[in-house]
Amino acid sequence: MKLEEKILSVAKETISIEAKAIANLGNLLSGEFAQAVQCIYNSKGRVIITGIGKSAIIAGKIVATLNSTGTPAIFMHAADAIHGDLGTILKDDVVICISKSGDTPEIKVLVPLIKNFNNKIIAITGNKDSFLGQQSDFVLNAYVEKEACPNNLAPTTSTTAQLVLGDALAVCLLDLRGFSSNDFARYHPGGALGKKLYLRVSDITSQNLQPRVSPETNVRDVIVEISEKMLGVTAVIENEKIIGIITDGDIRRMLRNNEAFIHLTARDIMSKNPKTINQDAMAVDALDMLEEFKISQLIANDGEKYAGVVHIHNLIREGII
Distance of alpha carbon 108 from alpha carbon 87, whole angstroms: 18
Report d(CA 58, CA 242) in Å as an integer: 55
Annotated binding residue 188:
no
* Secondary structure (DSSP) of 85-138: GGGG--TT-EEEEEESSS--HHHHHHHHHHHHTT--EEEEES-TTSHHHHH-SE
Would strands 233-238 and 241-247 be described as parallel, antiparallel, or unpaired?
antiparallel
Torsion of CA 14, 19, 24, 28, to 10 degrees: 90
d(CA 92, CA 95): 10
Spell out where the chain has E strands: 47-51, 73-77, 94-99, 121-125, 138-141, 212-213, 233-238, 241-247, 271-272, 276-278, 297-302, 305-311
The CA distance from 287 to 172, in Å, is: 31
What are the binding residues for Zn(2+)? 77
Annotated binding-site residues read 77
